Chains A and B, each alone.
Chain A
Amino acid sequence: MILPTGGILPAHALAVAFTAPSDPILAAAYWTGIGALGLTLLLGAQIVRLRMALRRRERREARALARWRPVLSAAIIGETPEELPRLSDSERPHFIKLWVHLQASLRGDASLALNAVARRLGVAIDARAMLARGPRTDRLLATLLLGHLRDRKSWDILRDMTNSPDVTLSLSALWALVRIDPPAAAAYLTPLFIERDDWAMSHVAGILKEASAPVAGVLADLLPALPPERLPRALRIAEALRIVLPDDLLSGALAAADIELVTAALRIVGTPGLLPQVRELLAHPDWQVRVLAAKALGRIGDRSDVDRLVALLADREWWVRYRAAQAIAELPWLGAAELDALQAALADRFAADILAQVIAENRSPGGTA
C-alpha cells in the first residue's frame, strides 16, 4: 500500500519501514534494497578478504625473494652454492617468477647458470605438471620457465598448446618451442603462423627472430602452394624476418590483382631483377601501391629512375609525393647540391614543397642526411 492509511508517527513509521511491506510491488522494491544491502556487505567482506590475501601473498613473496634472490644472483656471477636450500611449495611460484624475470634479461653463461639451479631444484618437473594440469596462470608461468630451460620433454604438450584459441597461451607456447628447438619449431609452426590471424604479426616476428633462418627455408617451400588469401600474411612474415625470397616467387605476387598481395610483395622487393614490374606499378590506380612502388624504386632503382620518381612528386596523393621525395633524397648518387638544384628546378608547387620538406627533414638533427 503506497498511500498513507492515516497519521503514522515517525517512530512507528521507522519500525514499519524496516519490515517488509504488504504491497507486492513495494515488497519487491524493499527486497531489492535488502538484496543490495546484503550484496554490499558481501562485497565489503570480499574486498577485505582480497586485501588480506594480497598481504599474505606479498609477505610470502618477500620471504621467498629474500631467500632466493641472493642464491640466483650468486649463480649469475658464477658462484652457485654447493648446497641449495630446499624450495618449498609456497615459495615455488614466487621463485619461478623471479627466475623468469632474471632470465628475460640474461644471455650466455649467466643464463645457463640459472638453468642449472632450476634443474637442481627440480623445478622443471613441477613446471611440466603445472603445464599439464595447472590453472591458466600456472600454465603461463610454466611455459616461460620451460622455454628458458629449453626443456625437450615438454615439447609435445607445448605443441598442443599452440593450437589453443587462447592467444596469450598459444603465443607463449610458440615462444617456448622456438627456444627449445628452432628448426623443428619452424617446420611445425610456420604453416600455423600463416594460418592464425589472431596472432599479432609483431609478436610472431619478435618470437621468430631466433629462428629466422629455418623459417626462411620452410616459407620458401610453402609459398608456391599457398592459397592466394594466405600469401599476404606469409609475405609479411618474410618482411618481418628480413627473409630474401626468390624473384620468381615475388614476380607472381607483383602481377596479382589483389592490392594487399601486391603491396606485401613490394615491401620485400630487394633485387633489380624485379625493376620492370616495380616501374609499371608506379602508375597503379591505387595510391598505396604507388607509395610502396616509390619506396621500392628508392631501394633498387638506377639513375634512369630519378625522372620517374620526380614525376611522382606531383602525384595527387600526399603520401606518394612524400615517399617519392624520400626515395630521391636517399639515392646515393645525388649529392646535396644536386638535390637543391633539382628542388629549385621543380615547376610544380606541390612537388617543390614536398621535396623541400624532405630535404629539411634530412638535414635537421636526427635526419638521415
Chain B
Amino acid sequence: MTHYLLIQFVTWFVLCYFILLNGGYLVLNMLSLRTLHRKGQEEMLDDLPRAYSGLEPPVSILVPAYNEEATIAASVRSMLQLTYSEYEVLVVNDGSKDNTLDVLKREFGLLPFPEAYRRRIPTKDIRQIYRSTRFPNLRVIDKDNGGKADSLNAGINASRYPLVCGVDADSILQRDSLEKVTEPFLRDPTVVATGGTIRVANGCEVTGGFLTKVGLPRNVWALFQVVEYLRAFLFGRLGWSSVNGMLIISGAFGVFRKDTVIMAGGYRPDTIGEDMELIVRMHRLLREKRQPYKVEFVPDPVCWTEAPEDYKTLKNQRIRWQRGLAESLSANWGLMFSKNGGVPGWLAFPFMLLFEWLGPVVELGGYVFMIWAFLTGEISWQAFTTFMFVAIGLGILLSASGLLLEEMSFHIYPRGKQLLALAGVVLLENLGYRQLNTIWRLIGLWRWITQKESTWGTMKRKGDW
C-alpha cells in the first residue's frame, strides 16, 4: 500500500510540476502581450527622425575582449557608428594571447594615454590605457588577464559617463540600439538597468558590422535556438519586467546606472554568470536599502549574436549558463522571501529556484521516473501517455506563444517559408531538444556543486563578419 501511495505521489508531483512550470510561463506570456500590444501602437513613432536635446544621458560602452583578433575591428567600427547623442567606446583587452591589441592599435591609431585611472572597483593590474587618434570617443584598456567580469569592472573604473553598457565583443548591434535601451532611463529616474532582446544572427547577412538581411540558419542546432531565444526574451524577460521582477539582463547587451553598479560592488569575477549575478545582487541590495528602483526590459531586437552550431559548443554554453544561474541564486539567498523582497524576492527568485535551478532535476527525474514506472508496470499506459501528452503539449504551447508574440510585434522573419520553418521547429524542439537541454542543465548543476573554476567561454565561430 505504501509503495502504491509513493508511486502515486511521485506521479502527481511530476505532473503538477510540469503543469505549474508551464502555467507560470503562460502567465508571463499574458503579461508580455499587453506590453507588446502597446509597443506596436507606437511603432510609427520609431520610424520618425529623432531630435536630440543633448539631455540624453551619455553612455560608456564597455567591450571586454579576449582573443578576438578576428572580429574586434569590425565590432568596434560598428559600435562607433551607433546613432546616439554622446557616448564613448571602451575596449578592455583582457590579456589576450593573440593579436587583439595589435589589431586595435593598427586599425584605430591607438597611442598610449596618460590617464589618471581611478580604481573604484578592484581589478587586475592595468598595463596601459590607449586613446584613438582617429576616434576621440574610443579608448582601449590593456590589462592583465582576469576574466570577463574583471574586464567589465576595469571598464567601469575608466568610464566617464553615468550609464555603462556591457557589450560582448562579437555582438552585432542595431544602429539605434543605444537609443532604444536608454529610453527607460529618460522616462524614469529610478531605472537602474535595462536590457534588450538578443536574436540569433546565424543565417543573417552582416555587412560592415551591421545586420543587413534577416534569415534563418540552415543549421538545426541554431534553428532550435531561434525559437528558444523568442521564448526566453519575448515572454520570459518581458513578462518579468512588467512586474519589475526581471532577474537577468544578458551580458551581450545591457545598460546600467554606473553609481548603482559601483554601490553593489561591480561584477563578481569569481562567477560564470556575472551578468545575472549582478542583477540579482542589485535587486537584493536595493531592496535591503528600500530604495525605489526599476529593472526594465526593452523588447526591441537591439542585438544579434552568433549561436553555437555544433553539439559540443552548445552543450558547454548551456552547462555554463546553468552554473551561472546556480551561482547567481546561491550568492543572493538573502533576496528570497526577504522582508522588503517584493516581486523579485517573493515571486521571481522562488520561480527561478523552483523551475530553472531545480528544474533539470525534477524534469529529467520526471521523465526517467515515468519511463521506469511504465516499463516496470508501476503506472498504467494511460498515466504514462497522459504525462507525455501534458509535458510535451504544454512545451509546444509555450513555444507557439513565443512565435505568436514575435508575429504580433516585430515580425522579423518576413517570408512565409520562414514562418513555416519556425512552426516546424516549435513542434520538433519539444521532441528531444528541450529534453537534451535539461540533461545539459543537470550537468551544469553538477559542475556547480563540484565547483570547478570559471574562465572565458570558448565559442566556435562560423560567421564571417
Q: Which A residues form the contact surface with B (CB < 8 A)?
A: 1-5, 8, 10, 13-14, 16-17, 21, 25-26, 29-30, 32-33, 36-37, 39-40, 43-44, 46-47, 50-51, 54, 97, 100-101, 104-105, 135-137, 140-141, 144, 167-168, 172, 197-198, 200-203, 205-206, 209, 240, 318, 321-322, 350, 353-354, 356-357, 360-361, 364-367
Contact = CB atoms under 8 A, between A and B. Distances in A.
A293 B386 CA distance: 72
Contacts of B208: none
Given A44-B400, A140-B44, A202-B186, A32 B19 contact: yes
Contacts of B187: 167, 198, 200
B53 A318 contact: no
B114 interface: yes
25 contacts: A3-B7, A3-B8, A13-B382, A14-B385, A16-B381, A17-B386, A21-B382, A25-B15, A26-B382, A30-B390, A47-B400, A50-B407, A54-B411, A104-B49, A136-B38, A140-B45, A167-B187, A205-B54, A206-B51, A354-B116, A357-B113, A364-B111, A365-B134, A365-B136, A366-B136
B328 interface: no
A40 B393 contact: yes
B381 A17 contact: yes
B380 A105 contact: no
A357 B116 contact: yes
Contact of B56 (A101, A137, A202): A202
If over half of A's interface residues share one DSSP class (helix, strand or loop), that class is named, otherwise mixed; here it is: helix
Interface string B262-285: 000000000000000000000000
Interface string B395-426: 01100110110011001000010010001000
Given A13-B382, A353-B116, A357-B115, A3 B390 contact: no
Contacts of A54: 407, 411
B453 interface: no
A1 B404 contact: no
Contacts of A50: 404, 407-408
Interface in B204-224: none
Given A2-B379, A4-B380, A100 B48 contact: yes
B136 A29 contact: no
Contact of B400 (A4, A17, A40): A40
Contacts of A4: 377, 379-381
Interface string B126-149: 000001011111000000000000
A318 B117 CA distance: 9
Nearest to B374: A4
Given A140-B42, A353-B116, 10 more contacts: A29-B387, A36-B22, A39-B397, A47-B419, A202-B56, A209-B53, A240-B55, A350-B116, A356-B116, A360-B131
Contact of B53 (A2, A17, A26, A206): A206
A39 B393 CA distance: 10
A269 B394 CA distance: 63
Most buried by B among A33, A50, A168: A33
Nearest to B401: A43
B464 interface: no
A16 B386 CA distance: 10
Contacts of B411: 51, 54
Contacts of B8: 2-3
Nearest to A2: B383
Which 5 A-B pairs rank lowest in CB-CB distance, beginning with the nearest?
A366-B136, A200-B186, A13-B381, A17-B385, A202-B55
B191 to A, nearest CB: 11
Given A3-B4, A4-B381, A203-B186, A105 B49 contact: yes
Interface in B72-115: 111, 113-115
Contacts of A14: 385
A47 B390 contact: no
A41 to B, nearest CB: 9
B420 to A, nearest CB: 10
Contacts of A36: 22, 390, 393-394, 396-397
A293 B53 CA distance: 24
Given A17-B381, A32-B390, A47 B53 contact: no
B378 interface: yes
Contacts of B416: 51
A16 B382 CA distance: 6
Nearest to A352: B116
Interface string B17-45: 00100100000000000000010011011
Nearest to B423: A44
Contacts of A350: 116
Contacts of B115: 357
Contacts of A202: 52-56, 186
Contacts of A321: 116
A205 B55 contact: yes
B41 A137 contact: yes
Contacts of A16: 381-382
A266 to B, nearest CB: 16
A313 to B, nearest CB: 10
| Max chain B C-beta neighbours (<10 A), residue from A16, A17, A350 | A17
B291 to A, nearest CB: 16
B372 interface: no
Contacts of A203: 53, 186
B11 interface: yes
A43 B394 contact: no
A202 B182 CA distance: 12
Contacts of B56: 202
A36 B441 CA distance: 25
Nearest to B411: A54
B404 to A, nearest CB: 5
A26 B383 contact: yes
Interface in B333-392: 377-383, 385-387, 389-390
Contacts of A200: 186-187
Contact of A104 (B4, B41, B48, B137): B48
Nearest to B3: A3
A168 B380 CA distance: 57
Contacts of B456: none
Contacts of A29: 15, 19, 386-387, 390
Contacts of B189: 197
Contacts of B137: 366
A43 B33 CA distance: 13
B57 to A, nearest CB: 8
Given A3-B380, A202-B56, A364 B136 contact: yes
A364 B133 contact: yes
A197 B189 CA distance: 9
A354 B114 CA distance: 9
Nearest to A97: B44
Which of A197, A200, A318, A361 has the most C-beta atoms of chain B within 10 angstroms of its own C-beta?
Answer: A200
A7 B419 CA distance: 44
